[in-house]
Amino acid sequence: MEFITEVKTFAALGGGVIGSGWVARALAHGLDVIAWDPAPNAEANLRQRVANAWPALEKQGLAPGASPTRLRVVGSIEACVADADFIQESAPERLELKLELHAAISAAAKPGAIIASSTSGLLPSDFYASALHPERCVVGHPFNPVYLLPLVEVVGGQHTAPEAIEAAQSIYCSLGMRPLHVRKEVPGFIADRLLEALWREALHLVNDGVATTGEIDDAIRFGAGLRWSFMGTFLTYTLAGGNAGMRHFMQQFGPALQLPWTYLPAPPLTERLIDDVVDGTSAQLGEHSIAALERYRDDALLGVLAAVAQAKHQHGIGDHE
């Protein structure tokens, strides 16, 4: 089967936070977008989310012809995918729902169209089990906000063709993304497994009364988070080893791995813990709305991305370093 790699029409199934992010990214890259979501008021909510994202996309730079008016919302799965060159599903994380959706999506889609799911943890071999032509079905797991963050994890199932992985990565690159091929089907893939470990430790710190949610966020945003944004974990620790690099770091700090610094298993989600977390984040929000904070986040991300790009250019460091 020959897979479509030149996309003019992008289909989005699901218009929530992730689905609307895909819609906004595709529109910003000058594509026609067809969307479907069975939820009440789905079209109004989707268009509002796109409108909230659009100022950041304008600052980033739009492709010729890019416009929110190129979004069309339809009333059925079949109408959404029939003419699409690429399909991205962003439905809730329920296996039975995704099985049913992808049986319908794959039956109505063009044979060469890649079908992708935004799932953050379900495995493609499971939820593509009833799909027609599963060789063209992949996971394309993005990160919020999808319209700005470039990472997308690409995962194949047991029936996915290697050429489909390559085609999906090519399409994501054309949308300004950085695809990361996850070579094995593992729950949580790569990035969320790392985030989950940090999240569990953060919940323990709140549960044990060590820190508030705001203090934990400060520990990240004024410390490791700044380094992570341009260097990641392994390069950061390599520099911590001085001129001897990672080997010295491992020798010096490796013994600490045996100390009981972390729990890793999550604490029980008691009502008290949930209240503490909700109260803490409410205090962090203050009088700001979620939409206002999203716009602040977008502007901050644009600034960080621009600063990293400028520093890379100045020091002759390539995009893949």
For residue 36, what is the domain's CATH number? 3.40.50.720
Q: Which domain holds residue 41?
A: 9-182
**Residues 125, 25: one domain?**
yes
Residue whose structure tokens are 């799909």: 131
Same domain for 40 and 167? yes
Q: How many domains does the chain have?
A: 2
Does residue 318 register a pLDDT over 90? no
Same domain, 220 and 173: no
pLDDT tens, position by position, 267-306: 899 999 999 999 999 999 999 998 999 999 999 999 999 9
Within this chain, do residues 80 and 226 fall inside the same structural domain, yes or no? Answer: no
Output the six-digit token pair for 97.
């729902």
Structural domain contains residue 276 = yes
The strand pair at 137-141 and 151-156 is best described as: antiparallel
Torsion sign over Cα 44, 90, 168, 49: positive
Q: Is residue 309 part of a domain?
A: no
Which tens digit of pLDDT belongs to each residue from 59-105?
999 999 999 999 999 999 999 999 999 999 999 999 999 999 999 99
Is position 92 within any domain?
A: yes
Last residue of a domain, one of 182, 207, 228: 182
Residue position matching structure tokens 């479509």? 4
Q: Do 164 and 228 share a domain, yes or no? A: no
Looking at residue 259, its pLDDT comes to 82
Show the tokens assigned to 176: 């300004």
Q: Is the pLDDT of residue 321 over 80?
A: no
How many whole angstroms separate alpha carbon 160 and alpha carbon 152? 17
Residue 311 lies in a domain: no
Nearest C-alpha neighbor of 89 from the set 68, 108, 67, 69: 108
Q: Which one of 182, 217, 232 terminates a domain?
A: 182
**What does pTM read for this prediction?**
0.92
Q: For 100-134, write each residue's pLDDT tens digit.
A: 999 999 999 999 999 999 999 899 999 999 999 99
Whether residue 219 sits in one domain with residue 124: no
The distance from CA 138 to its chain's CA centroid, rounded to whole angstroms, is: 15
Contact at 8 Å (CB) between 88 and 11? yes
d(CA 221, CA 155): 30
Query: Which one of 182, 201, 232 terminates a domain?
Result: 182
